[in-house]
Structures are given as C-alpha cells and as structure tokens.
Amino acid sequence: WKPLVLYGFEPEGTGGFEYAGGTLTGLVQMTVIGEAWREPSAAGSAAALAFLAHELAHLWNGQLTTNGGEHSWTHEGSADAIANRVLPELGAEDEAAFLAREEAALNACRIRLGGRGVEGANDPRVPYACGQAMALWTEAAIGAADEDADLFAFWRALIAAALADEGRYDAD
C-alpha cells in the first residue's frame, strides 16, 4: 500500500514549532501547531521533515509489527532516532546539527526522568527522549560488534524476529 498523509494546521499554540501526529495502517496524520509555522524558515523545514520522518518510521517499526502498546520508549525513541538519521541523508541538516539533536535527546532524558525510571516517569516526553537515548546506546553496542551494523540493521532484525513470532517484538 501507499501511505496517505493527512496534514493539518492549528495557529493557536505557544509560538514555537509544535506538532502532534499518529499513524494507522497506511495512514499518517500530522498537525502542526503554532504561529511559527506561518513563515517559511530553515528551522521550520527541518522540524517538519523530522516530524514526517518520525511518523513514517512508525509505518515501518510500528505497523509491520507491534509491541502490544507497552514500552512506548521502544518505538517512539527509535522513530526519533531514525528520523534524526534521515535529515542529514536528505541534506536538511549537517553533521553538527545531527550531533546536537542526539546530545539534546541524551540531556533531555536525564532531565525529564526526574529521578524515576523510564516506566515510572511522569513526563510524557520521556519515551521520546529516553527511547532515543536507548536507541543510541543500542546502535553503539551493535556497532562495537559489527562496524557495518546500525540502528536500521537492529530494527530489520527485530522486525524479522517479530514476524516469525506472532508479529510482536516484545513477546515473551
């Protein structure tokens, strides 16, 4: 199937580049929120592309298989990490911006945890920031064993294993 993208705009917001979205099988829903989206800018273009890449990653890591709705840090953080890798590939960001995004995720994870574990944190952004940090650590670990391995290789193997086991990647 070819995915359908529904794109909306809400001018009310904090003034920054806010957004909300989600996916269903073959469908991506994206809403940008705030006045900042009215004026074209490099920052807005990068934010929109990262948002689209995040949601499209869910068509791959969340639509082919499922985690049963648990441990959202697994798929949300990886979708952010995958999106971050797409931006430099498309020429939307340079290496410095890519590294700054990864550093920001690591810092946000530590700050947003508030002394709790990932599963017990009250901040709704923890699954994104800490999941991305965990994706970075996963990529570093598999890269140490195989220099050609990356986050995409990890997800391809995880999805293949899930499809062979009832389609869930968190099955016991």
pLDDT digits (tens, 9 = 90+) for 151-164: 889 888 888 888 88
Tell me if residue 9 falls in helix, strand or coil: strand
Q: Give the mean pLDDT of the chain.
A: 86
Task: Give me the pLDDT at residue 5, please.
Answer: 92
Q: How confident is the model at residue 99 (pLDDT cuts 50, 70, 90)?
A: very high
In this structure, the dihedral spanned by the alpha carbons of residues 77, 15, 107 and 96, taken in order and rounded to 10 degrees, is 90
Q: Tell whether the model's pLDDT for residue 169 goes beyond 80.
A: no
Q: Tell whether the model's pLDDT for residue 9 goes beyond 90.
A: yes
Q: How confident is the model at residue 33 (pLDDT cuts 50, 70, 90)?
A: very high
Task: Give me the pLDDT at residue 67, please.
Answer: 64
Tell me if residue 66 falls in helix, strand or coil: strand
53: enclosing H helix or E strand: helix 42-61
How far is Cα 98 from Cα 85, in angstroms, rounded to an integer? 7
How far is Cα 101 from Cα 108, in angstroms, rounded to an integer? 10
- Return the structure tokens found at 24: 């269903």
Task: Give me the pLDDT at residue 70, please.
Answer: 66
113 — phi, psi (to 5°)? -65, -35
Q: Tell whether the model's pLDDT for residue 69 goes beyond 70.
A: no
111 — phi, psi (to 5°)? -70, -45
Task: Give me the pLDDT at residue 172, please.
Answer: 52
Tell me which residue of 114, 91, 104 sits closest to 42, measured CA to CA.
91
Mean pLDDT over 94-114 rounds to: 91
Angle 138-88-6 from CA coordinates, rounded to 5°: 90
Task: Give me the pLDDT at residue 25, please.
Answer: 83
How far is Cα 6 from Cα 25, in angstroms, rounded to an integer? 13
How far is Cα 107 from Cα 162, in angstroms, rounded to an integer? 31
Task: Give me the pLDDT at residue 29, please.
Answer: 94
Task: Give me the pLDDT at residue 171, please.
Answer: 55
Task: Give me the pLDDT at residue 140, please.
Answer: 93
**Residue pair 66/168 in contact by the 8 Å Cβ criterion:** yes
